[in-house]
Amino acid sequence: MGCGEVFLCVTLFLPALNKFLLLIKPLLKFDTGLNKTMLKSDRIPITVGVVGHLDVITTDEQKSLIEDLFRDLAERYPNSPVYLFSSIAEGADRYVANIFLDLKRRYEEFQEKFELIVPTPFELEEYKNDFSEASDREFDDLLKQAKRSFCVGYDDEKNINRPQQYLKTGKLVADSSLILIALWDGEAGKTGGTADIVKHKITGDDDTVAESTFEYDGTVFILPSKRAKSSYKVSSNLKNNDSLSLDHILKDPVLRDALEKIEEINSDSLAIRQPEIEKSQSYLFKKPEKLSTPQKSILNWYSMMDLLSKQFRKRDIFITICLFVLGIFLILALEIYSNIMLKRWVLGIAMLFIVAATLVYFYSRSTKNHKKYLYNRTLAEALRIQFYWNITGINKNVSDYILRIYRKEFTWVKHILSAVYGITYNNGSISSESINDLTDNWVNNQADFFESAIKKMRKQINFYHKISEISFAIAFVLLGSILILGKFYETNNYLNWLLIIIGTLLGAFALIKAYIQMKGYEPLVNQYELMHVIYQKAESKIAEVNNLQMDIMEKQSYLKELFFVIGKEALIENGNWYLIFKEKEPEIEGF
């Protein structure tokens, strides 16, 4: 290859490519200019729960295993807080809670990471009736150190069923805990006892046919333990007395995946600036000062996921643009090689574009930007509904209604959402003020969003179609002109250049059409139109109910049910959105 040819190669291709790379370089990384660092305790937590006997007999070896587990979790996942769910009843609950809080007091690095969550089966004074006076003091001392405590509420306030209340609380602890520790002798006990909670965690809720039959719920890590008031020895069925270690926990692929994803999300969130969080929160709720602390936590976690999804979306679009531009350059190089310069160096340039496209593709696969965008957006939309349900007083876990088709693939999502549900559990009731807030911040806001998004997306689709159609039309006209003016073009050496232009335009036409299809714009618009209709109808129904002359309690009950239905529809839409985008990752055919 001569020097002149090399110079021509550089002149033709490299300046354009360099200008393009400089233009989109900012998309390659997050904005790391931090104004304020998010507290570790405010990030997505790793949740551990404890259940066990009131008269449990513990050992030094068990204490050492529990301490090592908490230390290992903190060290292996440095960006993630650890929350312990414990009802701090006598026995196992307090035993593990005291170990956990002792570590928090002794080690400075754990003081911001370790938090105690206390769900109780009864209101505090009623609950303390089950304890002695000395036990009351220990209970109060532990309660003061908790991040949050709450009563799980009563199904029937007039006839409180104590065993059922203990069962309800134990189920909440089990469902909210990624890692559940049970200090158990392996024997069946009374209703609401340790055996019932262990069974619930492993096999699902017996009250729900689908869940107990088809769905994976979790693993229990059992520390075989004797009881002071029982003649039974530890059951011979409990073989995993050495199972409570992080290494053993990580043998469960679902738990390993969940722990890694939590740490990944929290690590990515380090690049988020506080002003961005506040801006994202303002779209969800305009007056955050009206919110309770648990509601602010959900709002904070939503903003994390919302902002991360937007960042990964930018990277995903960047990859698509790179592949599109490299595809155009490749077509242009091949057209030049075929029609003007039958030189090896031109073919070499075409090969360089193929190599560049391949590298971009493998970069996309290695960074997993598309998958990160999908699961951060999925989590954000689920947390949006959990947030509004929490304000409404709807005690439903959004994980029971989202991504049911892909539950196995996204079991870790269920774990995170269940933890959020437990941490922020709200048994309050709906009010006229909350109805107005929900109507304004949720229903009206989403109706406006979908209306605006549909217009914007249709405008974008029309633009892409117009560009592709213009490209095809020009190519068609030029091709037709060759039939009429072929000799003129050939005499004046225009023919080969026209063939290059025609080939490039047809290539652009095909690439744009492929881009529209790959991004799933048409089915997404259809989905948005459906959600727009749902929120519009919800607006009308709320206005209609508010104008009716009916009992205030009846009205609030009706609207509470309406908000629940709206949330379910939104979660279904989220699942459909996931199906649309799941296979839309930028790729090269053949890989």
* Model pTM score: 0.85
Most confident of the following: 33-37, 300-304, 479-483: 300-304
E strands present in 187-305: 220-224, 226-227
pLDDT at 2 over 50: no
Q: Can you name the residues that pair with 52 across neighbouring β-strands?
A: 183
Confidence label for 11 from pLDDT (cuts 50, 70 and 90): very low
What average pLDDT does this structure show over 141-157? 88
pLDDT digits (tens, 9 = 90+) for 233-291: 666 566 555 568 899 999 988 899 999 999 999 999 888 888 888 899 999 999 989 99
Output the pLDDT for position 28: 46
**131 phi and psi, to 5 degrees?**
-115, 160
* Higher per-residue pLDDT: 449 or 20: 449
DSSP character at residue 441: I
As a whole number of angstroms, the distance between CA 308 and CA 285 comes to 19
pLDDT value at residue 258: 92
Tokens of 486: 């072929």
Q: How far apart are CA 93 and CA 72, in angstroms?
A: 21
* Exposure string for 279-307, b = 16+ CB within 10 A, e = fewer: ebbeebbeeeeebeebbbbbbbbbbbbbb
Q: Residues near 61 by Cβ (< 8 Å), separated by ≥ 6?
A: none
- The winner for highest mean pLDDT among 124-128, 177-181, 487-491 is 177-181
Residues composing the chain: 591
Indicate the pairing of strand 220-224 with strand 46-52: unpaired
> Which pLDDT score, from 0 to 100, does residue 213 have?
46
pLDDT at 219: 83
* Average pLDDT of span 311-328: 86
Give me the domains of the chain, ranges plus CATH numbers: 41-244 (3.40.50.450), 293-581 (no CATH)
Q: What pLDDT does 418 receive? A: 92
Please give the single-letter amino acid code of residue 458.
R
Q: Which of 225, 223, 203 is nearest to 214 (CA)?
A: 203
Q: Is the pLDDT of residue 589 over 70?
A: no
For residue 22, pLDDT beyond 50: no
Number of H helices, E strands in the chain: 20, 8
The secondary structure of 419-434 as a DSSP string is HHHHHT-------HHH
Residue 588 has pLDDT above 60, yes or no: no
pLDDT score at 212:
47
Average pLDDT over residues 309-337: 86
The 10s digit of each residue's pLDDT in 427-462 is 888 888 999 999 999 999 999 999 999 999 999 899
Contacts 24+ apart (CB under 8 A), 281-286: 283/445, 284/384, 284/387, 284/441, 285/387, 285/437, 285/441, 286/440, 286/441
SS3 29: coil
Sorting pLDDT into bands at 50, 70 and 90, what band is 170?
Answer: very high
Instruction: Please compute the mean of the pLDDT values over residues 348-366 and round it to a whole number.
Output: 86
Q: Residue 527 above 50 pLDDT?
A: yes
Q: Do the Cβ atoms of 80 and 44 come closer than 8 Å?
A: yes
Half-sphere exposure of 579 (CA within 13 A, CB side): 14
Counting residues of the chain whose pLDDT is more than 90, the rounded percentage is 40
